[in-house]
Structure 1
């Protein structure tokens, strides 16, 4: 059994990054006993930026009391975390960035990760822009996740060319996401 947490930062529940995330979760759930938790920050009632108050360095966890704290707690207990975001203005959207900044709490005062070793991350990045922008964003976000303490399971990037290539019609992409999810069925827990 794997404990999988998905953080879908798309403001559109049927957007490209959300559809790829859903395909991964479909594969992960199957007939398995995986525990899956899905967070959609766009639905949060209370969400704050990192204040860089450094409270996390003395308490060991983020001290801001809002809906992101539950996400951070779930990340700590997860075997695999799926991070998905659309690209806006050549970077992740604000919801992703807010969650990413709050993960600063997973680094101690010496910038060493406090997460359990072996925690996997799948990064899903979508855009209507050319693929070259996605590769640059993927490299930056992957490096940030590695710094925080994740091992990269994979990175999926997809450009829908302003809606001309919808995810729903790309069987190869859906199959890839579902296959990665099925792979998690047989992954030992952290």
Structure 2
């Protein structure tokens, strides 16, 4: 078995990446009696674009029917993921939604599996379990007030249509800078941010771990 975490953050050791690793740790914990491998894929290490509307994935009898034909840095990644036993997506929130890097990746991953028949059915090789971890600067109450959840649910609904309904967790009011004094950031209180992180981020790490435990049943 193999479970992949897809890191949609440009940072490899900060909030999103840390929570993704905790989730993978939970996967391993839940599968002690099974041989299971985990891997984080850092999207910002890869050179690719979103869907180019070539429709090779829809061409009847074509060699790329049901899979993306664009041969760039994620061509082989998509092939690996087609045989995964679980996928965990993670992204910081930029302007109310996931990063453009992850959005482009999801276009390439999901669109080839969507069939243009009467029911808009799907043809993934596996109906694997999925999860989504969102990290964001805004507090939970603001997230709820300004409609972020509606955006998240729309993204999750597409993933559910292709694979399965994602488990989801949110890490709010995140600590963004190592030293707030170096940046124009008077909108935030570094002291309050640090105090919140000290208490909340360990709880978020535990939630991510539990998400991983519950991913593979």
TM-score with structure 1 length normalisation? 0.85
Structure 1 consecutive aligned stretches of length 4 or more whose deviation exceeds 6 Å:
none
Question: 1:176 is matched with which residue?
Answer: 207
Query: Whole-Å Cα distance in 2 between the matches of residues 36 and 162 of structure 1?
Result: 27
Question: 1:51 is matched with which residue?
Answer: 52
Query: Whole-Å Cα distance in 2 between the matches of residues 79 and 8 of structure 1?
Result: 17
Where do 5+ consecutive residues of structure 2 fail to align? Answer: 177-192
Is the alpha carbon distance of 1:134 and 1:17 closer, same or farther for their aligned partners in structure 2, counting shifts above 3 Å?
A: farther
Higher RCO, Cα 8 Å, sep 6+:
1
Aligned residues: 183
> Which residue of 74, 78, 82 maps to 1:76?
82
TM-score with structure 2 length normalisation? 0.75
Question: 2:164 is matched with which residue?
Answer: 151
Query: Whole-Å Cα distance in 2 between the matches of residues 52 and 167 of structure 1?
Result: 46
Is the alpha carbon distance of 1:86 and 1:78 closer, same or farther for their aligned partners in structure 2, counting shifts above 3 Å?
A: same
Where do 5+ consecutive residues of structure 1 fail to align? Answer: none
Query: Whole-Å Cα distance in 2 between the matches of residues 117 and 168 of structure 1?
Result: 39
Question: 1:64 is matched with which residue?
Answer: 70
Query: Whole-Å Cα distance in 2 between the matches of residues 167 and 151 of structure 1?
Result: 34
Give the RMSD, CA atoms, in angstroms: 2.2
Deviations 1:90-143 (A, max 9, x none): 111111111111121121232321114531110111111232244223211111
Query: Whole-Å Cα distance in 2 between the matches of residues 128 and 181 of structure 1?
Result: 23
Query: Whole-Å Cα distance in 2 between the matches of residues 90 and 183 of structure 1?
Result: 27
Question: 1:160 is matched with which residue?
Answer: 173
Structure having the higher Rg: 2
Deviations 1:121-168 (A, max 9, x none): 101111112322442232111112112x12124111121255424388
Question: 2:96 is matched with which residue?
Answer: 90
1:105 maps onto 2:104 in alignment = no
Q: Which has the higher strand share?
A: 1
Is the alpha carbon distance of 1:91 and 1:183 closer, same or farther for their aligned partners in structure 2, counting shifts above 3 Å?
A: closer
Query: Whole-Å Cα distance in 1 between the matches of residues 205 and 199 of structure 2?
Result: 8
Instruction: Give SS of 1:137's match.
Output: helix
